[in-house]
Amino acid sequence: MNEVINVLDKGYVRLTNVMGSDLSVVNSARVSYDKESTELTEGDIRLIRFLAREGHTSPFRHATIQFEMYAPLMVARQHWKYIVGSDHTMDAWNESSRRYVTEDPAFYIPKEDEWRSAPANSKQGSGGPLVDKLEYHEMGELQHVYERHVEESIRLYEKSIELGMAPEQARLFLPAYGMYVRYYWTASLQSVAHFLNQRLAHDSQVEIQAYAKSVYELTKEHFPMSISELVKKEA
């Protein structure tokens, strides 16, 4: 299985494993009556719609899906906080660690027209393009400073490794929030749908919306009926 969608400048979402299908949801629900379907019928589709509409979500936890995510730390930590703060326990998360590996660091570098201004009437989220509010040379200077900051941080990180510093401390030289991290996320179909309903919302951070859209596209290929009923897609 090699289903990958590229996200942002260097990131991606890769579907690595799937257990179950829409039929798994149906049969998990019908077992109460000692019944089983061998192919998805119109009656089964009506059952999926009923389960989703009425909030009978346990049958959707009998299907699971696994992703490999490569995302800036600011996205990964927002994703992680959603999981630990959720009441859905059918999740697993494993992440690469610079305590053990010294792979080349990569950073999210937005283009000049991708930086966003602070919103006018809120303490969170984004406003319009920052480039519309700054002089051309001001935006160019910010872009240049950020790129130089990343380059210098990588140089200091590599130098500290070369001098024998422990990787777990050398990583302190790397600016955290823009650095790409790689992690595996395994979740029940219910939990995936909960994530999507939260992060496809129009007021969600733009970068995590991009990852949510990719998760949605990869999931609907394997659970078309269930995900269409569970997720009210906004973005």
Q: Helix 73-84 vs helix 189-199: angle between axes, to the nearest 10 degrees?
A: 120
User: Is 77 inside any structural domain?
Assistant: yes
Range of the structural domain that residue 61 is part of: 3-99+180-230
User: Is 104 inside any structural domain?
Assistant: no
Average pLDDT of adjacent 10-residue blocks, the chain of 235 residues: 89 97 94 82 95 94 96 93 63 78 85 90 82 90 96 95 91 92 94 92 93 97 96 71
pLDDT for 61? 93
Boundary of a domain, candidates 153, 173, 193: 173
CA distance 72 to 176: 9
* Residue in 232, 224, 218, 230 with CA at minimum distance from that of residue 7: 218
Number of folded domains that form the chain: 2
Same domain assignment for residues 142 and 28: no
Same domain assignment for residues 92 and 208: yes
Q: Helix 73-84 vs helix 206-220: angle between axes, to the nearest 10 degrees?
A: 70
> What residues are labeled active site?
199
User: Is 107 inside any structural domain?
Assistant: no
CB-based contact 186:83 (threshold 8 Å): no
Same domain assignment for residues 91 and 195: yes
3-to-14, 17, 185, 187 alpha-carbon distances in Å? 6, 10, 15, 17
- pTM of the prediction? 0.90
* Residue in 178, 216, 168 with CA at minimum distance from that of residue 195: 216
Boundary of a domain, candidates 149, 173, 197: 173
